[in-house]
Structure 1
Amino acid sequence: MRRIELLAPAGSMESLIAAINNGADAIYLGGNKFSARAYASNFDNETMMKAVDYAHSYNVKVYVTMNTLLKQSELKYALKYVGYLYEIGVDALIIQDLGLVSLIRDVYPKFELHASTQMTIHNAEGALYFREKGLERIVLSRELSLDEIKYISKDLGIETEIFVHGALCVCYSGQCLMSSMIGGRSGNRGRCAQPCRMQYTLIGETSGERKGYLLSPKDTCLIEDIEPIIKSGTASLKVEGRMKKPEYVAGVTRNYRKSIDKVLVNTKFDLQKGRNELAQLFNREGFAKAYLYKNTGKDMMSYNYPKNTGVFIGQVLSSGEIKLEADVALGDGIRFADDGFTLSKILKNNNEVKEAFKGETVKLFPTGGYKKGYRLFKMSDKKLYDELNEDLKPYKKKIGLVGEVEFKANAPLCIKTKFNKKEFKVYGEVVEEATNKPLTRERVEESLKKSGEIPYKFDKIVFDTFDDGFIRIASINNLRRELFEKILKEGVSSYRRKRDEEAPKAKELKSQEDLGYIYSCITKDQLKALSENKNVKNVALDIFFSRQKNALKKEDLKNLYEQESGDKNIYLKVPSIIKGEFNNIVKVIDEMIPYIKGIITSNAGILKLYKDKLFIIGDYKLNIFNKEAAEFYAEDIDIPFISLELNRKEIKEIMKNMNSKIGINIYGKTELMVSEYCPIGSTFGNKSSKKECNGACMKDTFRLKDRMNESFSLLADNSCRSYILNSIATNLIDEVEELKSFNINNFRIDFKDESYEEVNEILNQIAHGNKNENKQYTKGHYRRGVE
């Protein structure tokens, strides 16, 4: 079976060392800026170089994450930083921003680029699209099943990377605007406030309500599925955890290394022990297999506790004792409810012991705080952490070499070895003829087999010549160090590059057409209001929400075409996420082509298929943050729409010297999350891995209420995918004149859960400026922006 890469996280130098000591093939880490883990320790330039050199001394690859969206003012600094990373020998960059991708492909065409999971690549055509754009590796969305991974990786031959362990986002990565819109901290900029880990109440108009951590998934753990994953053809198995402690990185890496080696080289590995160790390091009410086997129900969620749960050790009896469900030892961290303590004393049969084991009944101290019936959890295992702490020592791992020695009287001592198919040789002091007691082979070999702060060690010494002679032991030690340092220096320097910069290339743009106002809708009532208004010239129908009341269907689009007799341009709005239903969506688009002028989409797979066939409006979920990203897409899209996270100053900056036509959304309830997991079906429909959804979303109207009493509408599309909408609509209608002064002349108005009357209110405001003062709106980021 083929070799596969184990890719480990490093939020610090200690974590990098821990990962390498435990068998990582590659490391991913971030610099001080432009990384999607802005709150990790990360690496400054000096530490970054040390980290790269250290990893390369072990032949471990280094991928640097620059996976945030970049403002126009940041691009030149980002590109300068790319030049530094290129120079010091970073193996590849993991990128989200397509503007930066475009610049790097022009300026540093030899730099390997990986498409971040933040790019939301989740179908085969999308993977092909970005490979054709110069992305060597695709980090697939975590929502893909094993069959989907296999098709993209093995059947299409695309180099992919998948997450196998760690925290899971409930929303498709790169599509989440919840933290951004409600708190100003953008997940697309590495500053997610994790609103998904908060408590929510799901309320149905007639179904009642449920309260819990309804958007908080369990961590992924696929250690039991390594063999089928390897057979899927993916190139790299990624462990999440740049915000975690080095001991966590050490423990997770070593267990996945053992699991991989068990499959590849048939080494022994106690899978259950490994899984238990992973649970002790971090879990949220256990683990889930995420979407690998298409389980999108309640089994993957941690409804009761969103943080590290620890390992259950027992329930307090009436005597104050605990019958242990897991081993404990002095120094362990114990939790009960939201309190806890460090275990300082264990009583078993009234005798003090240092540790106790599963099945035994004991009393744990200090006892203050917990009472009969309390459930106790072991949050940290001192013995495990002490063991893992040993793996944080630099150069603990050694690369074994074979040394060849010429120990010849009256000739310089010579040591040579081979590393990476190259021979290295050094000469030392002259070996003197022995006048008294000559050095033995064993003494010379003992000295040569030592190793200090260096990755290498001689496992075997072969003497080509060995005469009776004498040389100082210090001289042998110095020569050994000289040889190892020569290997190290040459090995590290071989990764260095010169900055052969090239000039950015002009992009060929697809279209120069302005449309003015474009209205989209999902219900018959909304369409009725739009149809009746003669000022509405561009209408986009979303017919993929048939689970909603009064939802639009294909017939409504055809009827509109026949009724309007060319007075209106009709567009089909295509979902941003399309997986197993991809071919069916394509059939619908093809069927609608006679009736439509074009489509609205942010799906790269659909873009690949129709970029040369239809007029394409790019949805705001393309995450266009700068001029270069707009022009990247403008090669294939007629009118790309920019991100909703930009403020007016940043929008104005983008429009300077802009060659392509651009659009902006000026009204609508922002789509905060899109997820394969459905909170309605999982909470009210008993949806689990064993029970199918009972269609609860079609029987009632639902909303999510947060701890601030903000209420968010929930929608479900034809494919049972869920959408969370912002609690209030963004309204920039009174900013249109200013936007026109920036040379923006394309404006989107999205209707999602609005009534017939509310649609007419907005149309009236656009036509006459009559704003309903009793209605609450937000300007989103237009004034404030994101960090």
Structure 2
Amino acid sequence: MKKIELLAPAGSLESLYAAVSNGADAVYLGGDKFSARAYATNFNEEKLKEAVEYCHLYNVKIYVTVNTLIKDKEIEESLEFIHFLHSINVDAIIIQDTGLAFLSRNLFPDLEIHASTQMTIHNVEGARLLKEKGFSRVVLARELSVEEIEEISTKAEVETEVFIHGALCISYSGQCLMSSLIGGRSGNRGTCAQPCRLPYELINKDKNISKKGYLLSPKDVCTLSNIDEIIKTGTASLKIEGRMKRPEYVAGVVSAYRKAIDSYYDNETFDLKDEKERLNQLFNREGFSQAFLFGNKGKEMMALNYPKNTGVFIGKTNEDYTLTLTENLNRLDGVRTNKKGFIVEKIFKNGIEVEEAKKGETVVIRPSNYSKNENIFKTFDTILMAELQQSFNDKFIRKIPVKLEVEFKVGEPIKVSCVYEGKTISVYGEKVQCPINKPLDKSRIEKSLSKAGNTPFVIKEIYFAQYEEGFSPVSLINELRRNLLDKLIDNTNSSETIYDIKEKLKQFKELDLEVKNSSLNNTTFITVINKEQLKAAENNGFDNIVVDYFMRDCDLNLTDLGDINFYLRVPSIVKQEFNHICKIIDNNLKHLKGIVTSNLGIIKKYGKEITILGDYKLNCFNGYSPAFYKDYLETSFISLELNKSEISEFTKKNPNTMGMIVYGKSEMMIKEYCPVGSLFGQKKDNYCTNACSEGKYVLKDRKDNEFPIVMDKFCRSHILNVSATNLIPNLEEIKRINISILRLDFTDESFEETNKILQAYKEKSFQSEFGNYTRGHFKRGVE
């Protein structure tokens, strides 16, 4: 039986050693460019090569993230980086950008590519599309249940990978624009500012009631208790999040899950309680959750009161400022109150300074950065950290047992062989001499050959296939041993295919993208959600209408839309409702002009049957992205994160083929978690009591910006930008950069406001006050 893969994070070489030493089957890491964890230490080329060589010694696979969106000006550099990764024999690269995926498959066909979780794969058809496009594995969205994981893993015929421990994004990964649109730091580019970890106030504007807290901050995931159920889904890999975490964290988490996985396959038990306590001490946010694996638990999965490492409760201070411990405490441990954290410099017990204190004892700690009757939490355990550090302080602490076979026969060269990873490795020495005095006996040969030194190997057995009494200098036996160990190390990192990068770049520049003008050229699309917006569109002579039918507030009947060219907008997330949505599409095919969506599953199912316009959440970011979808899409609306000059570079390769949003409140997040239902409508067994129908809700940040929250018909919540993007004053500039397919999206606008915007669009001039609008990234872009 093939065991499931345990995949560990590494933000540094020390974390890599920690992962491998504690039993990881594979490691993922990022280079110093094109990585979605730009603020991790990451690896330069020299360290990447060292990492690959080290991992392959232990038969541990290594996957490198190239998982940011790539601008046109970065394409050549990213291909050179991928060429380097291929040349050092990485096992796979992890990709988000579809343009880069298209190029990788064409230029490096034998290099394995995995789809990043940023590609938001959450249904069978989406996974099948990526398999068709050359991906060998998809990292599934973190919002899936075990049943959904099993369905994709068993039906899509492509390997899947799931997150089992670590930080959880509250928005579907790859679908979040909040950090980008607020501050220009893009999660899709690896520079997320984590606005989800900030405090917010959720307000019902109609009832004037609110709730405050860290309302978008989820607890970390821990599935140690559920490994059996996850393994049974058929997924190929269990992934631990944590490239930003310290090596001791990696060591502790990998060790715990190694024990859990091995216990499953060996049908044994392990100390689950002890391991969970260690994980809790390493890092937690108000405890852990199981994400969405066993249903949507609402606010139970949220760290509403504290967004950072909570630590472990160790007691509440007494009236006299002493502390009666509920856990052991050592000098130099890190602790925190509700307001601040500090290092314990001194501990006093009965007035005497001590190095440690035990559970149940009453102590005074210094500095006294706390008040009486205040909860104290331990966030850093020096004893635990020292113990974990011991597990990887020598990078070769994990030894690989090998068996040597020796041929020692007079008149023939000494031969020492080893079967390693299915290959026979042999070295030869000088001919064995006839002994003049005393022959070299077996025990002396064994003693010389058994010293593996500072290598990952340990000589477990030495077998003599042939032995005759003869003589050879011990120094030559030692040299043979060193040569064999060197060959073992070299053998693990041999690469069978080496590409000429100059030739590859030549091929890249000559690639035929099969660009053709879209039949929708010079078309304007109007997205509406209600009858009043549709009326304004029709009054202004627009007949290419996109109906946002699956939003909760949509009051339009699809069979009663008159003679307009009707396009159905399908959400970017389609899970258990997939067949329901397909039925609606099928029932309306006769009068449906097309579909607007960024859902890869819907694109796979209908892309060769009906006109599909890729929505902006497809993240088409460079001129090679359309080639990835050329068999499925008529056009795509370009990413909202590109500025004017970057769009111009994009469209040089794809003139008059791409669409652009010129008006609308951008969707900043789409979430399986609903703050409205969780905080205002929670029941014991079902948190949703339709609270969203009882008023208009906004999420207010620290700067008093109010972000509208809207719901779709499948109880997913969508956070919209405070201000609508308005590029009507820039229409001439947009025309000059070869964009002629335009779209205006209306969400919560009234008839009057919709009418005003459409009239300004027709006049190509916006004369009203611009203060309530934004140009988005059209002028600034993202780094």
Scaled by the length of structure 1, the TM-score of the pair is 0.94
Name the structure 2 match of 1:532.
Answer: 539
Name the structure 1 match of 2:640.
Answer: 644
Name the structure 2 match of 1:757.
Answer: 752
1:719 aligned to which of 710, 714, 719:
714
Q: Which amino acid aligns with 1:338?
A: K
Name the structure 2 match of 1:105.
Answer: 105
The alignment partner of 1:743 has SS state of: coil
- Which deviates further from its counterpart, 398-407 or 646-655? 398-407
1:611-659 deviation per Cα after TM superposition (whole angstroms, max 9, x unaligned): 1222212111110111110232243111211001110101111111425
Matched, 1:663 2:663: no
Name the structure 2 match of 1:575.
Answer: 571
Matched, 1:518 2:521: no
1:508, 1:635 within 8 Å by CA — same for their partners in 2? no
Equivalent-residue separation in structure 1 for 2:350 and 2:412 (angstroms): 72
1:29-59 deviation per Cα after TM superposition (whole angstroms, max 9, x unaligned): 1111111111111111122111111111211
Name the structure 2 match of 1:91.
Answer: 91
Name the structure 2 match of 1:309.
Answer: 310
Equivalent-residue separation in structure 1 for 2:429 and 2:108 (angstroms): 43
Equivalent-residue separation in structure 2 for 1:337 and 1:126 (angstroms): 44
Alignment of 1:563-642 (within 5 A): 566=563, 568-642=564-638
Equivalent-residue separation in structure 1 for 2:464 and 2:268 (angstroms): 33
Equivalent-residue separation in structure 2 for 1:138 and 1:712 (angstroms): 32
2:64, 2:92 within 8 Å by CA — same for their partners in 1? yes
Name the structure 1 match of 2:551.
Answer: 545
Matched, 1:693 2:694: no
1:182-219 deviation per Cα after TM superposition (whole angstroms, max 9, x unaligned): 00001100100000000001111205111100000011
Q: Which amino acid aligns with 1:745?
A: S
Matched, 1:365 2:361: no
Question: Structure 2 vs 1, CA of residues 442 and 496 (structure 1 numbering), >3 Å: closer, same or farther?
Answer: farther
TM superposition shift of 1:404: 2.0
Name the structure 2 match of 1:333.
Answer: 334
The alignment partner of 2:113 has SS state of: strand
Equivalent-residue separation in structure 2 for 1:326 and 1:407 (angstroms): 61
Question: Structure 2 vs 1, CA of residues 446 and 509 (structure 1 numbering), >3 Å: closer, same or farther?
Answer: farther
Equivalent-residue separation in structure 1 for 2:517 and 2:59 (angstroms): 44
TM superposition shift of 1:752: 0.8
Matched, 1:478 2:488: no
1:258, 1:267 within 8 Å by CA — same for their partners in 2? no
TM superposition shift of 1:350: 5.4
The alignment partner of 1:493 has SS state of: coil
Alignment of 1:146-165 (within 5 A): 146-165=146-165
1:107-131 deviation per Cα after TM superposition (whole angstroms, max 9, x unaligned): 1111111111101111111111111
TM superposition shift of 1:461: 2.0
Equivalent-residue separation in structure 2 for 1:508 and 1:426 (angstroms): 57
Equivalent-residue separation in structure 1 for 2:320 and 2:99 (angstroms): 65
TM superposition shift of 1:281: 1.2
TM superposition shift of 1:93: 1.0
1:509, 1:636 within 8 Å by CA — same for their partners in 2? no
TM superposition shift of 1:726: 0.5
Unaligned runs of 5+ in 1: none
Equivalent-residue separation in structure 2 for 1:512 and 1:573 (angstroms): 19
Equivalent-residue separation in structure 1 for 2:254 and 2:514 (angstroms): 43
Question: Structure 2 vs 1, CA of residues 413 and 320 (structure 1 numbering), >3 Å: closer, same or farther?
Answer: farther
Equivalent-residue separation in structure 2 for 1:474 and 1:337 (angstroms): 65
Root-mean-square deviation (CA, aligned residues, Å) is 2.2
- Which deviates further from its counterpart, 516-525 or 253-262? 516-525
Name the structure 1 match of 2:492.
Answer: 491
The alignment partner of 2:459 has SS state of: strand
1:343, 1:364 within 8 Å by CA — same for their partners in 2? no
2:407, 2:414 within 8 Å by CA — same for their partners in 1? yes
- Which deviates further from its counterpart, 468-477 or 243-252? 468-477
Matched, 1:9 2:9: yes
1:246, 1:392 within 8 Å by CA — same for their partners in 2? no
Scaled by the length of structure 2, the TM-score of the pair is 0.95
2:700 aligned to which of 698, 705, 724:
705
Q: Which amino acid aligns with 2:548?
A: D
Q: Which amino acid aligns with 2:127?
A: A
Question: Structure 2 vs 1, CA of residues 395 and 593 (structure 1 numbering), >3 Å: closer, same or farther?
Answer: same
Equivalent-residue separation in structure 2 for 1:36 and 1:201 (angstroms): 29
1:405-454 deviation per Cα after TM superposition (whole angstroms, max 9, x unaligned): 34556765442211112222223466677788776655543443322332
Name the structure 2 match of 1:781.
Answer: 777
2:87, 2:495 within 8 Å by CA — same for their partners in 1? no
2:608, 2:631 within 8 Å by CA — same for their partners in 1? no
1:11, 1:42 within 8 Å by CA — same for their partners in 2? yes
The alignment partner of 2:773 has SS state of: coil
Name the structure 2 match of 1:459.
Answer: 460
2:730 aligned to which of 718, 722, 735:
735
Alignment of 1:410-449 (within 5 A): 413-428=414-429, 441-442=442-443, 444-449=445-450
The alignment partner of 1:331 has SS state of: coil
Equivalent-residue separation in structure 1 for 2:263 and 2:217 (angstroms): 32
1:364-389 deviation per Cα after TM superposition (whole angstroms, max 9, x unaligned): 42151222211111111111111221
2:349, 2:364 within 8 Å by CA — same for their partners in 1? no
TM superposition shift of 1:245: 0.9
TM superposition shift of 1:270: 1.1
Alignment of 1:250-329 (within 5 A): 250-266=251-267, 268-329=269-330
Question: Structure 2 vs 1, CA of residues 660 and 114 (structure 1 numbering), >3 Å: closer, same or farther?
Answer: farther
Equivalent-residue separation in structure 2 for 1:411 and 1:299 (angstroms): 73
Q: Which amino acid aligns with 1:758?
A: E
2:517, 2:655 within 8 Å by CA — same for their partners in 1? no
Equivalent-residue separation in structure 2 for 1:311 and 1:439 (angstroms): 62
Equivalent-residue separation in structure 2 for 1:624 and 1:194 (angstroms): 23
Equivalent-residue separation in structure 1 for 2:169 and 2:451 (angstroms): 47
1:633, 1:640 within 8 Å by CA — same for their partners in 2? no
What is the percentage of aligned positions where both structures have the same residue?
Answer: 49
Size of the aligned set, in residue pairs, is: 774
TM superposition shift of 1:756: 1.4
Unaligned runs of 5+ in 2: none
Question: Structure 2 vs 1, CA of residues 437 and 212 (structure 1 numbering), >3 Å: closer, same or farther?
Answer: farther
TM superposition shift of 1:528: 2.5
Equivalent-residue separation in structure 1 for 2:213 and 2:100 (angstroms): 40
TM superposition shift of 1:150: 0.3
The alignment partner of 1:93 has SS state of: strand
1:80-136 deviation per Cα after TM superposition (whole angstroms, max 9, x unaligned): 211111122111111011111111111111111111110111111111111111111
1:35, 1:66 within 8 Å by CA — same for their partners in 2? yes
Question: Structure 2 vs 1, CA of residues 496 and 56 (structure 1 numbering), >3 Å: closer, same or farther?
Answer: farther
The alignment partner of 1:530 has SS state of: helix
Q: Which amino acid aligns with 2:66?
A: M
Q: Which amino acid aligns with 2:521?
A: D
- Which deviates further from its counterpart, 702-711 or 451-460? 451-460
1:510, 1:637 within 8 Å by CA — same for their partners in 2? no
The alignment partner of 1:82 has SS state of: helix
TM superposition shift of 1:493: 1.6
1:119, 1:174 within 8 Å by CA — same for their partners in 2? yes
Q: Which amino acid aligns with 1:328?
A: L
